[in-house]
Amino acid sequence: MSELILTTYDWVPPPPRGFVRDLRVRWALEEAGLPYRVECTPFRDRGPEHFAHQPFGQVPWLTDGELSIFESGAILLHLAEKRPALMPTDRRGRAEVLEWVIAALNSLDLPSQPWALFRFMGLPGEAPEAKFVEDFLTARLDRLEAVLVGRAWLAAGRFTVADLLMADVLRQVDRFDGLAKHPACHAYVARMTARPAFLKAYDDQMAHFAAADAA
Ligand SMILES: N[C@@H](CCC(=O)N[C@@H](CS)C(=O)NCC(=O)O)C(=O)O
């Protein structure tokens, strides 16, 4: 098997630490027990080499032999193809994982990102755009709550990469206490982020950026 190399920034300012999206890839690699190495790309100076791997100048990307893959969702699905621990191989289980992966990346991430950004910026809750996004997110969380009240996992009756991604998307909302009115969603995030593989990935990302401060 070729060596897996995960590339993230060499440094980021403190606020996004613990939320940079290499974390979800680290988490999947830890869950799958796949060996990997982390490489850095400059945060401040994004050159042609960076854009060749990630056309938007973002992170993460993963190198797997001759393949270089960007978009965290695509990377997670690539890893899931390698390990049944992340995605079952039967048709039904696979289809369930795929639909919930897309639901996390589209249906939930779409309102979650601007909601978290507005919170981060301190935009007053009564501002029309903040109210619109709040209602949009609440509608999605209401439906997810109804799903999670009835089951522990989103797909295939067990932990999969769909749970990993959904929990990571919801973390950005939970960070600002946005799941307070959705206790099943909140408990779900708490359960997923108590997994040893998440804790290792989180600690590794924090240590990575702390080492850059010290350098
Ligand atoms: N859709 C991309 C988004 C990646 C992304 O937002 N990366 C952030 C770090 S978490 C980044 O590179 N931000 C810097 C920028 O956008 O300039 C993915 O999921 O991989």
Q: Which of 58, 75, 120 to mutate to test the pocket of ligand 1 (most atoms within 8 A of CB)?
A: 58
pLDDT tens digits for 160-197?
999 999 999 999 999 999 999 999 999 999 999 999 99
pLDDT tens digits for 31-57?
999 999 999 999 999 999 999 999 999
**pLDDT (0 to 100) of residue 124:** 77
**C-alpha 41, offset from chain centre:** 19
- Which residue spans of the chain are classified as CATH 1.20.1050.10? 91-195
**Amino acid identity at 40:** C
- Which residue spans of the chain are classified as CATH 3.40.30.10? 4-85+197-214
- Looking at the domain covering 4-85+197-214, what would its CATH class be? alpha beta
> In the CATH hierarchy, which fold is given to the domain comprising 91-195?
Glutathione S-transferase Yfyf (Class Pi); Chain A, domain 2 (1.20.1050)
Residue whose CA lies nearest to ligand 1 atom number 6: 58
- Is residue 72 in contact with ligand 1, taking CB distance under 6 Å? yes
**pLDDT (0 to 100) of residue 206:** 98
